[in-house]
Amino acid sequence: MPLTIGKIAGLAQVSADTLRYYERERLIAPAAKSAGGYRLYERDALRRIRFIKQAQQCGFTLSEIRALLALRGNNAACCRDVRRIALEKKLQLEAKIKAMKVMSKALTHLIDECSADGRPLDDCPILAALERANGVKRTGR
C-alpha cells in the first residue's frame, strides 16, 4: 500500500520538507501522485531515504549521494567503485580534520595569551591577534 509523504517521513524520521528537498535534489521521487495531487511512495523508498541519511552522516554531500545511488543501480559497477568513493571521502575528511586541528592549535595559543581579566575589549589580546592576522591595526572604538 502506497505511503503518503507524512507517513513515510515519520517512518524514516525525517521531515516532509526534507523529502521535498531530496526530491528537488533528484535523490528520491514519489512513485505516483494521488487524485488529489498528494505524493505517494512505495515502501522501497524508505530504504532509499535511510541510505541517504546514513551517507549524509558519513559526510557525503547530496550530489555525492546521487552519484552513489546511480552507482548502486549500475550493473557494470562493482564494490571497488564504491570503495574508491569511500576512500576519497575519507581523504577529504582527514584533510578537514587536519585543517581544524591547526585552527584549534592557533586558538589554544590565543587563549593562552588572554589572562581573562577585566581589561576593556580594546586591550583584548585575542581580538588584537585576530585583527593582526587580517592586517588591520586596532584604533580603539
Partner 1 sequence: MKIELFYTPGCRKCVDASDGLKAAAQELIPGVLWRELNALDELDYAVEVGVVTLPAIAIDGELVFSSLPTCRRFRRELTKRIAKAGEHAA
Nearest to 70 by CA among 60, 82, 58: 82
DSSP 65-126: HHHHHHHHT-TT--HHHHHHHHHHHHHHHHHHHHHHHHHHHHHHHHHHH----S--GGG-HH
Applying CB under 8 A, which of residues 83, 101, 132, 138 lies at the interface with partner 1? 83
Nearest to 56 by CA among 26, 91, 23, 22: 22
Q: Which stretch binds partner 1 (CB under 8 A): 25-33, 84-92, 101-109, 120-128?
A: 84-92
Q: Which stretch binds partner 1 (CB under 8 A): 34-42, 94-102, 113-121, 132-140?
A: 94-102
Applying CB under 8 A, which of residues 90, 101, 132, 138 lies at the interface with partner 1? 90
Could you tell me the smallest distance in angstroms from the CB atom of residue 77 to partner 1?
13
Q: Which stretch binds partner 1 (CB under 8 A): 3-11, 34-42, 81-89, 119-127?
A: 81-89
94 part of the interface to partner 1, by CB under 8 A:
yes
> Residue 100 corresponds to which cell in the numbers above?
581544524
Binding residues for partner 1, rule: CB under 8 A, are 80, 83-84, 87-88, 90-92, 94-95, 98
